[in-house]
Structure 1
Amino acid sequence: MGRRGESEFVAFAEACRPALRRTAFLMCGDWDHAADIVQEAMIRVYVAWPRLEQDHGLRAYARRAVVSVAIEQARKRSSREVPTDQIGDRRVDDAADQLADRLLLMSALAELPARQRACVVLRFYEDLGVEAVAEALGCRTGTVKSQTARGLEALRAAYARHGGELVVRPGVPAEAKEVTP
């Protein structure tokens, strides 16, 4: 890779690293592990850099690399126990409530299988459409829809199991309960 290509890659990597790390964190639930996932993904992007179109889809390619690495590592670590913290019932203030809810949600998210977690994270955190998620995961749109539906159902159940309350928001039918972190 020439000097110009390498400097462009460095600028690209620095610009997109924070967003990729947040996505990786939601995939794995650990900031240090998320940094490792992003590092591995950026190695893949660096190797492919000379053949990538510089104006189109670089961030999407990098995001797909992050998701792929996270799923691969989750498969390798599938026998690993997922730590869950017991959060006390004591409520201090709204910030503490939000933190407790976030921890409950992260614990519930950690229980999802890797593909379901990827679909939920990409659809609702990254705010990608079904087609974009399908492209990022290398699957069909129907797979994204079914994995997302199953993931949300499993997320709701795990959230409730961890002590979170499912509430019905105004304007949302009673049968379509939402998790409110």
Structure 2
Amino acid sequence: MADHDDFREFVRERTPALSRHAYMLTGDHQLAEDLLQSALASTYRHWRRVRDTNPEGYLRQAMYHQHISWWRRKRVREQLFAAPRQAPQADPSDATALRLSIAQALGQLTAKQRAVIVLRFYDDLTEAQAADVLGCRIGTVKRHAHDALRRLRDIAPDLLDDGERTAR
């Protein structure tokens, strides 16, 4: 029963951060909920083994693996169509507008590119750590990061800071 209570407390404390993380990976609230629930179920099955090590790291890795598994199964090719630029809507919060811009830009990346960007820049993992989580080589992480950043510069130039704009 102590295991169950420990897990329940862990979920209660970490769910908000893990939900945000799942959303960053999927770009969709419902998929993020499904992803988190799936990872929580997996983590609960192994709770005795992981509770004294790094349960959040284990859970995040379970989310990445589940997300990649879904991506591989679906094999849906993304088709991007040129959409007319819409004038930014007035928003009282610059932070909200920035979050929306980032979410929209991340939504235009492939699943692997999005996972690499989230791992490297949101979770602040090294290339080696990201490769370990994704189960691939460091070179693959570097390639996906390079391609994703190049694509983000093209699709969301408004996210660049002033120094990067002048360098271009």
* TM bin (shorter chain): 0.7 to 0.9
TM-score by length of 2: 0.80
- On the 8 A contact 1:130/1:141 being kept in 2, the answer is yes
Q: Which of residues 110, 113, 125 is equivalent to 1:113?
A: 110
CA distance in 1, matches of 2:139, 2:166: 25
1:139 equivalent to 2:121? Answer no
% same residue:
34
8 Å Cα contact 2:153/2:160 also seen in 1: no
Specify every segment of 5 or more residues in structure 2 that has no aligned partner in the other structure, as ranges: none
Question: In structure 2, how many angstroms separate the alpha carbons of the residues matched to 1:87 and 1:6?
Answer: 50
The Cα of 1:99 is off from its aligned counterpart by 4.3
- The alpha-carbon deviation at position 129 of structure 1 amounts to 2.1
Aligned to 2:87: 89
Q: Distance in 2 between matches of 1:23 and 1:91?
A: 26
* Aligned mate of 2:39, from 13, 16, 41: 41
Contact 1:123 1:129 (8 Å CA) reproduced: yes
Relative distance call for 1:93 and 1:114 in structure 2 (3 A) is closer
1:36 counterpart letter in structure 2: D
* Superposed CA RMSD: 3.0
Query: In the alignment, residue 105 of structure 2 is paired with which amino acid?
Result: A
TM-score by length of 1: 0.75
Superposed displacement of residue 48, structure 1: 1.8
Work out the CA distance in 2 between the residues paired with 1:102 and 1:86: 20
5+ residue gaps, structure 1, are 176-181
C-alpha deviation, 1:90, in angstroms? 5.3
State yes or no: 1:165 paired with 2:155.
no
Task: Name 2:126's counterpart in structure 1.
Answer: 129
Which residue identity lines up with residue 139 of structure 1 in the other structure? Answer: C
**Aligned to 1:16, what secondary structure does the other structure show?**
helix
Query: CA distance change for structure 1 residues 79 and 144 in 2, over 3 Å: closer, same or farther?
Result: closer
Q: Is the 8 A contact 1:82 1:110 kept in 2?
A: no
Residue in structure 2 matched with residue 150 of structure 1 by the alignment = 147
1:42 positional shift = 0.5
